[in-house]
Chains A and B, each alone.
Chain A
């Protein structure tokens, strides 16, 4: 590990989980009646 790789890792660690967490938080789909 180098400072450069730590900087890249930190950036990715805070960015990559966001789409998954947003997807898990999405509202429940309500079917039309």
Chain B
């Protein structure tokens, strides 16, 4: 999942409008922001599979994406915002954890319980529906942004450029579509 994480971030922002938007958006992507450097450092491994959805196999992503480490990163990230109050810190932690929950739907069983665990989680929509996953994520994006729009019209403290946000997130989702993936 890619653009769906950003959409989840806007739903979280709509639920907790006092939370800084940048913090929420970095939070929802934090596990993948860690994944990149961890691969470069050799701590995690990925194999490319052109033509086979989703185009790669995540061989070992336990330090960034396992359930235990997701909770650790969520706690650590939340603590960074503790000076803004406990509610904000909790929201930031939830933002990070949302990444694991949403990845569970898409990933085949490559999400370990903890680093080195033999138990791996993941519903595997990427493999079950090599094209259909994209529409599942699109529907999720629609739900999140509809909630963001509705809350923005109620609270009127954010979201008056909701249409532009929809355009950007849908653009990101199209850029990540199976039709544009390298073969």
Contact = CB atoms under 8 A, between A and B. Distances in A.
Contacts of A27: 157-158
Given A17-B6, A20-B168, A25 B21 contact: yes
A22 B30 CA distance: 16
B25 A21 contact: yes
Given A1-B48, A6-B48, A27-B158, A22 B36 contact: no
B179 interface: no
A31 interface: no
Main SS class of interface, A: helix
Contacts, number: 80
A24 B36 contact: no
Contacts of B10: 21, 25
Interface in B32-75: 32-33, 35-40, 45-48, 50, 56
B102 interface: no
A25 B40 contact: no
Contacts of A26: 21, 158
Interface in A10-31: 10-15, 17-22, 24-28
A28 B161 CA distance: 9
A21 B13 CA distance: 12
B33 A25 contact: no
B172 A17 contact: yes
Interface of B: 2, 5-6, 10, 13, 21-22, 25-26, 29, 32-33, 35-40, 45-48, 50, 56, 157-161, 164-165, 168-169, 172, 182
24 contacts: A1-B50, A2-B48, A3-B39, A4-B39, A4-B40, A6-B48, A7-B35, A7-B37, A7-B38, A7-B40, A7-B46, A11-B33, A14-B2, A14-B32, A14-B33, A15-B33, A18-B22, A18-B25, A20-B168, A21-B165, A24-B165, A25-B159, A26-B158, A27-B158
